[in-house]
């Protein structure tokens, strides 16, 4: 990453009054209020509680009265006085006291102001506090206030200096506890009720986990909540801003009404790095408009076993594809200037080889997720690490280790090391060998899995091991205070060196300076109206259309004619939650109206006049020209999506009922609908809406057109666009489609490579005016020649198509063309 220019240090919120309303500050910077019992407890009085002021200016503290009724029945008098904070009375400010009054009949919510004069200092200094205590005999006082005189005229606040100098100056002023605070990340829900802890610990970061939202789940509600947390961080003496993070893995999935893209596996099918960069730029814009400058994306895993519950988070099964599109995603998220209102810090995850773990080694009840990668160093270097190398070149700002473990076959199996403890790969490969200069953020309680396990995690040993292995910031959603206390003690005891702490903190602060947070820590809401806009949905719609992979098209069943009578069936035809998948609305996602968008059925209905829908295909099919069956998977995330893994039952939408067991085969009900509709209607089109291939070998012969639709997100119109020929099918398989659910692990490069459809496969509906490259012409011609309508693609042709696609991804077009020509001649 490079140093980015910023603006002068003003620390003023946008569209927020001078006195900002949130809950009480840390008790250590407040004077306790010795108020007599309120005469009327139904009337409450509150202050700010934080008022920022420039050195030498006058601070304004707002006092608000609220009653159960619309107006006050009786007058309310509030006494106030300044107390002893870190500022010195009559040197840094003018001590004072007084009274504010609210007459009977005053409307509830009325505000009065108190002014506190500060005195200009001759030299630069850190922030100072002036507590303002309230007391009333007529009402209950719920919060006092604190005036914060902003830090000023110090080198780290000078945006004209290089970031490196600003970081060094700031680190030199920090105490050990302040440094460890910067390395500590808490979850929103665990600080919202007591935000004073942000100030007490000097927390460096807060996140929202999947489904963790403010009560007001709107762009304004998010920005207000995050600004409230930011106030608490800025009430510390050094005023180091928070960096807030969220899993915007296919859009700002926690935000109601956000634009949701296809998951990465669908983007992998587009083969279009420019489209991926543009799409992630859109996501960055929507994310930052809510006050969030950091996303835990993209996932750079190279998925080698589709039974893994995170398959859809991968761009595909080959490192060349993940490398090209992963770098494009990083560039889209971060842009050219991180301090832009349309940029967010990207996170390359999950380092490394989380998509290459061995089935049966998963953590707990998981079968694949968080398991053990049993590979040689050479194999990991060639398959799993390349996407991280390109992400580093693209300037990715943070990296997240995997929950999984690495067990090198070079020295024999049996000694796996958790990635959160892997010095060789984090300090070695990532930081030393490849010069990664960003910071490493742990996964959600990731260090708790470092052996030996303990009930009071994170233990000191777990913390010390991970810090010394190179992890810089720790996602400790609920145990952040324990983490903070134990890391401070570990440094004091010599288990972690001060130099290692300074390195970690310097990396974190560098990102904050580059994001422009020291110049503008509060939410930039200028793009809030773009969230879910027609322009943004058009980007997603194109991504959906380009992600659709046409696997089979007998008798030119596609494109459809909008004059045809169309019979639509299947549980995924009219279900926004199913087509969006996991990480939408909640961590696991859920079926139904998870957010705003267009279902596939709605897209079809908008394109054709005569559409009949029967989810279970129970309605008569008589008279229909075409049957469109939309089946596949229901939402899941991580280990709960592992084939053979545990079944989720804890979203409100589940009502305690476990979701269906995950499988590589079509669910029995889906298979029945496919068989029924394809038997009764002459032309039968089947769409598979899923996060990974669904084995459909037995039904293939009865299907005229088969489409891999992946998890398209909110814009179902994009599916209709290619079905009706508004756009051509151009998508290509980002992974190999297996023949059998009993033996589903098949990857390009296997010696016995024999998928139903190979990596890179994708038919088209192009017309005579479609301009194709010489390479694409040969690929499409070969596909038409070799496809067996009941048995898929023969092994020799599958090998050639897959190898040619890899060669093309690696920039070896001549080799790709030669492979296709040779296969066509055989």
Which member of 339, 638, 651, 721 is catalytic?
638
User: Using omega within 30 degrees of 0 as the cis cutoff, is the peptide bond preceding 452 cis?
Assistant: yes
Give 422's contacts (C-beta < 8 A, 6+ positions apart).
Answer: 401, 406, 469
Nearest to 758 by CA among 803, 718, 722, 726: 803
Cα 271 → chain centroid = 22
Question: What's the CA gap between 673 and 616, in Å, rounded?
Answer: 7
Neighbours of 811 (CB within 10 A): 11
Neighbours of 702 (CB within 10 A): 15
Q: Please answer whether residues 44 and 65 qualify as being in contact, where contact means their C-beta atoms are separated by less than 8 angstroms.
A: yes
Tokens of 694: 């669904």
Question: What's the CA gap between 317 and 301, in Å, rounded?
Answer: 8
What b/e string do you get for 589-617 counting C-beta neighbours within 10 Å, with b at 16 or more?
A: bbbeebbebbbbbbbbbebbeebebbbeb
Nearest to 407 by CA among 377, 383, 448, 367: 377
Q: Please answer whether residues 82 and 30 qualify as being in contact, where contact means their C-beta atoms are separated by less than 8 angstroms.
A: no
Tokens of 812: 């070896």
DSSP tag of 42: T
Q: What is the model's pLDDT at position 769?
A: 62
Question: What's the CA gap between 317 and 303, in Å, rounded?
Answer: 5
Report the relative pairing of strands 184-187 and 474-475 from DSSP bridges: parallel
The per-residue pLDDT of the chain, averaged, comes to 94
* E-state strands within 548-587: 549-553, 565-569
Query: What are residue 20's phi and psi, to 5 degrees?
Result: -105, 130
Neighbours of 12 (CB within 10 A): 13
Nearest to 333 by CA among 301, 285, 292, 289: 285
Query: What are residue 262's phi and psi, to 5 degrees?
Result: -60, 145
Tokens of 504: 């970690």
Question: What's the CA gap between 529 and 169, in Å, rounded?
Answer: 39
Vertex 408: Cα angle to 403 and 409 (nearest 5): 135
What b/e string do you get for 474-490 counting C-beta neighbours within 10 Å, with b at 16 or more?
A: bbbbebbbbbbebbbeb
Which residues does the chain have with pLDDT short of 70? Answer: 1-42, 767-769
Residues 164/167/171/177 CA torsion (nearest 10 deg) = -140
Give 479's contacts (C-beta < 8 A, 6+ positions apart).
Answer: 445, 457, 458
563 a catalytic residue? no
660 a catalytic residue? no
Which member of 305, 443, 546, 808 is catalytic?
443
For residue range 94-151, list pLDDT tens digits in order.
Answer: 999 999 999 999 999 999 999 999 999 999 999 999 999 999 999 999 888 899 999 9
| Bridge partner residues of 76 (DSSP) | 102
Q: What is the model's pLDDT at position 42?
A: 66
H/E stretch holding 97 reads strand 97-102
Tokens of 729: 């099918």
Largest CA distance in the chain: 96
On the CB side of 156, CA atoms within 13 Å amount to 22
Q: Please answer whether residues 114 and 134 qualify as being in contact, where contact means their C-beta atoms are separated by less than 8 angstroms.
A: no
Q: Please answer whether residues 257 and 596 qualify as being in contact, where contact means their C-beta atoms are separated by less than 8 angstroms.
A: yes
Q: Which residue has the tokens 């009977």?
A: 104
Question: What's the CA gap between 241 and 392, in Å, rounded?
Answer: 25
- Using CB atoms within 10 Å of the CB of residue 663, give its burial: 0 to 12 exposed, 13 to 18 middle, 19+ buried: middle
* E-state strands within 421-557: 439-440, 474-475, 549-553
On the CB side of 337, CA atoms within 13 Å amount to 9
What ranges in 54-158 are assigned the alpha helix state H?
none
Helix (H, G, I), strand (E, B) or coil at 245: strand
Question: What's the CA gap between 77 and 139, in Å, rounded?
Answer: 8
Q: Which residue has the tokens 């608000």?
A: 64
Helix (H, G, I), strand (E, B) or coil at 9: coil
For residue range 307-321, list pLDDT tens digits in order.
Answer: 999 999 999 999 999
- Using CB atoms within 10 Å of the CB of residue 660, give its burial: 0 to 12 exposed, 13 to 18 middle, 19+ buried: middle
Nearest to 696 by CA among 678, 715, 717: 678
Rounded alpha-carbon distances, angstroms, from residue 158 to 124, 231, 338, 340? 11, 21, 18, 19
């Amino acid at each position: 990453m490079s140093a980015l220019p910023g603006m002068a240090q003003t620390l003023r919120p946008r569209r927020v009054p001078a006195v900002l309303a949130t809950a009480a500050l840390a008790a250590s910077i407040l004077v306790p209020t010795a108020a007599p019992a309120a005469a009327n407890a139904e009337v409450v009085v509150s202050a700010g509680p934080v008022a920022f002021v420039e050195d030498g200016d006058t601070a304004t503290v707002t006092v608000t009265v609220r009653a159960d009724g619309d107006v006050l029945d009786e007058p309310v008098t509030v006494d106030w006085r300044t107390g002893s904070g870190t500022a010195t009375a009559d040197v840094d400010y003018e001590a004072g006291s007084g009274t504010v009054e609210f007459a009977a009949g005053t409307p509830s919510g009325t505000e009065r102001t108190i002014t506190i004069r500060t005195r200009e200092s001759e030299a630069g200094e850190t922030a100072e506090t002036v507590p303002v205590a309230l007391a009333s005999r007529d009402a209950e006082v719920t919060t006092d206030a604190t005036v914060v005189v902003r830090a000023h005229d110090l080198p780290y606040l000078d945006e004209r200096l290089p970031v490196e100098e600003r970081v060094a100056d700031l680190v030199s002023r920090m105490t050990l506890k302040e440094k460890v605070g910067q390395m500590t990340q808490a979850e929103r829900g665990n600080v919202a009720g007591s935000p004073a802890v942000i100030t007490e610990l000097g927390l460096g970061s807060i996140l929202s986990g999947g489904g963790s939202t403010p009560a007001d789940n709107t762009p304004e509600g998010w920005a207000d909540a995050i600004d409230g947390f930011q106030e608490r961080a800025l009430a510390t003496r050094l005023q180091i801003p928070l960096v807030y993070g969220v899993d915007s893995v296919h859009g700002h999935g926690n935000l109601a009404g956000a634009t949701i893209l296809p998951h990465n596996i669908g983007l992998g099918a587009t083969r279009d790095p420019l489209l991926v960069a543009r799409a992630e730029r859109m996501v960055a814009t929507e994310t930052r408009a809510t006050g969030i400058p950091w996303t835990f994306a993209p996932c750079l895993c190279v998925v080698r076993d589709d039974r893994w519950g995170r398959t859809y988070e991968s761009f595909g099964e080959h490192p060349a594809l993940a490398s090209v599109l992963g770098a494009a995603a990083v560039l889209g998220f971060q842009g050219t200037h991180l301090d832009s209102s349309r940029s967010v810090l990207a996170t390359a995850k999950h380092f490394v080889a989380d998509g290459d773990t061995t089935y049966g080694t998963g953590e707990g009840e998981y079968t694949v997720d968080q398991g053990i990668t049993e590979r040689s160093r050479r194999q990991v270097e060639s398959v799993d690490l390349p996407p991280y190398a390109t992400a580093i070149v693209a300037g990715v700002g943070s990296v997240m280790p995997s929950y999984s473990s690495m067990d090198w076959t070079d020295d024999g199996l049996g000694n796996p090391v958790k990635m959160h403890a892997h010095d060789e790969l984090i300090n070695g490969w990532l930081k030393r060998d490849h010069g990664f200069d960003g910071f490493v953020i742990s996964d959600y309680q990731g260090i708790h899995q470092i052996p030996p396990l303990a009930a009071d995690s994170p233990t000191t040993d777990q913390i010390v091991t991970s810090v010394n292995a190179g992890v810089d910031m720790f996602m400790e959603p609920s145990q952040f205070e324990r983490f903070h206390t134990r890391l401070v003690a570990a440094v004091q005891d010599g288990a972690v060196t001060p130099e290692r702490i300074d390195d970690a903190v310097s990396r974190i602060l560098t990102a904050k300076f580059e994001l422009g947070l020291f110049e503008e820590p509060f939410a930039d809401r200028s793009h809030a109206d773009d969230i879910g806009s027609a322009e943004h949905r058009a980007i997603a719609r194109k991504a959906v259309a380009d992600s659709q992979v046409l696997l089979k098209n007998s008798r030119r069943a596609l494109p459809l004619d909008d004059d045809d009578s169309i019979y639509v069936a299947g549980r995924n035809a009219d279900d926004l939650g199913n087509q969006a998948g996991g990480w939408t609305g909640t961590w696991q996602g859920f079926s139904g109206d998870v957010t705003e968008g267009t279902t596939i059925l709605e897209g079809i209905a908008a394109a054709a006049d005569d559409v009949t829908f029967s989810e279970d295909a129970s309605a008569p099919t008589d008279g229909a020209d075409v049957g469109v069956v939309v089946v596949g998977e229901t939402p899941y995330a991580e280990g709960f999506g592992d084939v053979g893994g545990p079944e989720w039952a804890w979203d409100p939408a589940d009502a305690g009922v476990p979701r269906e067991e995950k499988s590589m085969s079509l669910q029995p009900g889906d298979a029945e609908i496919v068989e029924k509709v394809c038997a009764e209607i002459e032309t039968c089109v089947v769409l598979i809406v899923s996060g990974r291939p669904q084995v459909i070998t037995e039904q293939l012969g009865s299907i005229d057109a088969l489409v891999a639709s992946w998890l398209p997100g909110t814009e179902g119109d994009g599916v209709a666009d290619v079905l009706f020929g508004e756009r051509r099918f151009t998508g290509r398989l980002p992974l190999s489609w297996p023949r059998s659910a009993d033996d589903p692990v098949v990857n390009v490069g296997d010696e016995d490579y024999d998928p139903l459809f190979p990596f890179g496969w994708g038919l088209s509906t192009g017309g005579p005016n479609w301009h194709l490259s010489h390479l694409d012409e040969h690929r499409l011609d070969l596909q038409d020649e070799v496809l067996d309508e009941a048995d898929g693609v023969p092994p020799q042709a599958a090998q050639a198509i897959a190898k040619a696609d890899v060669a093309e991804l690696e920039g070896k077009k001549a080799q790709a063309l030669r492979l296709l020509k040779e296969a066509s001649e055989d």
